[in-house]
Amino acid sequence: RGSPTYITENTLASFEKAINQGVDGLEFDVRLSRDKQLVIFHDSNLKRLAGKNKKITHLTCDEIKEVSLEQNQTIPLLDEIIPLIPKIKALNIEIKSDWFFGGQGMVNPLIKFLNKHDIDDKCIVSSFNPLILWRLKLQRSQTIIGYLYYRNRLFHSWSNLIWMCRIRPDNLHIHYSLLDSWIVAWARNKGMKINSYTINDKKVFNDAKINGVFTDNIEYLK
């Protein structure tokens, strides 16, 4: 989400700070406004970062742009990230979804964004919601997909395995505490790249034999 230790997460200033700290890429979250615009924001509502108990999906794009976050930062639109893309090697767009059948309205606007800006050589689209990834892959097969491993369900290993067999993602994104699990070995054997979140510990970082790391602790790990 940029460099949240220094500047409010998921803001343009935070992304710029992360780039200046030497990151290879950026990861952020997207949600849909009431008028069907993609905005960069993690939470479903504004309470944590703006002190307002209002949902992103209930606000128009113009209303969202008027919201003042911590450190007087504002919520960017997805299109506003484009000037930063030449400065990085990788971009990870995480589609947020608050329930299993939610978030489907983001697929078509995201496809339009990807088609318009031609960034497939450095962009991964990820989500904890397999239905969204499935639909995106069906409609735009060239999209690089990152399957976010969801462990808060019964028999999570087998549930995630079934969905990965169905979706056939290019990447498995999994919490670092599960890097020694059989599902990681299986995914690697199937040709998936393994990326892990959120690694903020130097020893964990050094010991992780994986393709990519999501971190908030940029300077410490580098």
Which class for 51: exposed (0-12), middle (13-18), buried (19 or more C-beta within 10 A)?
A: exposed
For residues 74 and 49, the answer to whether their CB atoms sit within 8 Å is no
pTM summary value? 0.95
pLDDT at 140: 97
pLDDT at 219: 83
Tell me which amino acid residue 66 is.
Answer: E
pLDDT at 221: 83
- DSSP lists the bridge partners of residue 40 as 30
Q: Cβ–Cβ contacts within 10 Å for residue 128, how many?
A: 19
Could you give the CA distance from residue 69 to residue 75 in angstroms, rounded to a whole number? 8
**Could you tell me the end-to-end alpha-carbon distance of the chain, in angstroms, rounded to an integer?**
17
- Residue 162 is encoded by which pair of tokens? 């079934």
Could you give the CA distance from residue 47 to residue 8 in angstroms, rounded to a whole number? 14
Residue position matching structure tokens 């290019």 = 170
How remote is the C-alpha of 174 from its chain's centroid? 12
Sign of the alpha-carbon dihedral angle for 194, 199, 201, 202 = positive
Nearest to 187 by CA among 199, 200, 178, 197: 178
pLDDT at 103: 87
pLDDT by 10-residue block (mean), the chain, 222 residues: 95 97 97 97 97 96 96 97 97 93 92 97 97 97 97 86 96 96 96 96 93 91 79
Q: Which residues contact 157 (CB under 8 A, 6 or more apart)?
A: 181, 182, 183
pLDDT at 108: 97
DSSP 45: B
Nearest to 38 by CA among 89, 88, 96: 96
Which class for 142: exposed (0-12), middle (13-18), buried (19 or more C-beta within 10 A)?
A: exposed
For residues 145 and 171, the answer to whether their CB atoms sit within 8 Å is yes
pLDDT at 54: 97
3-class DSSP state of 196: strand
- Residue 13 is encoded by which pair of tokens? 């200033």
Nearest to 149 by CA among 202, 122, 186, 108: 186
